[in-house]
């Protein structure tokens, strides 16, 4: 489990290798990751955007930008959490991801970024490494 807190928003990530969606002989490896976003502050906030940087074991990077997460732009009031699961394929048996969410306060126009901690994507036979 990986965790980071920015602007009183805690983001916790739990990655899991998915052998049933992977075909190592064809250099296709797949992971699910579950993310919990918790508002530790007082003002209600809304997640607007996501930005991912995905790096495989050969150092190749992919950038993914988009609105919301899993088709939603959740609003989190004080103490509330939002949890979702998504997935990512790689052509190598390991890699890592990191990113940020673009958020705003619901009662106001203040926008800010929240760190998604770097997390390792490793097959069960590999040792976890986050660079």
Cα-based distances in Å from 103 to 5, 46, 56, 115, 118? 14, 5, 27, 11, 19
Q: What is the CA radius of gyration of the chain?
A: 15
Q: Give 40-84 pLDDT, tens digit per residue.
A: 999 999 999 999 999 999 999 999 999 999 999 999 999 999 999
Question: What are the sequence ranges of the domains in the chain?
Answer: 2-121
pLDDT for 126 equals 62
Say whether pTM exceeds 0.85: yes
The class level of CATH for 2-121 reads: mainly beta
Q: Do residues 112 and 49 lie in contact, with contact meaning Cβ atoms separated by under 8 Å?
A: no
């Amino acid at each position: 489990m990986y965790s980071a807190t920015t602007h009183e928003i805690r983001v916790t990530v739990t990655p899991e290798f998915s052998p049933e969606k992977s075909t190592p002989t064809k250099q296709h490896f797949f992971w699910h990751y579950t993310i919990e976003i918790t508002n530790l502050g007082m003002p209600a906030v809304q997640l607007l955007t996501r930005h991912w940087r995905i790096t495989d074991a050969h150092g190749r990077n992919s950038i993914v930008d988009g609105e919301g997460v899993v088709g939603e732009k959740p609003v989190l009031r004080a103490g509330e959490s939002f949890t979702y699961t998504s997935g990512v394929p790689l052509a190598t048996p390991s890699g890592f991801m990191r990113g940020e969410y673009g958020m705003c306060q619901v009662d106001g126009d203040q926008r800010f970024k929240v760190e998604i901690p770097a997390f390792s994507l490793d097959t069960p036979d590999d040792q976890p490494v986050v660079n």
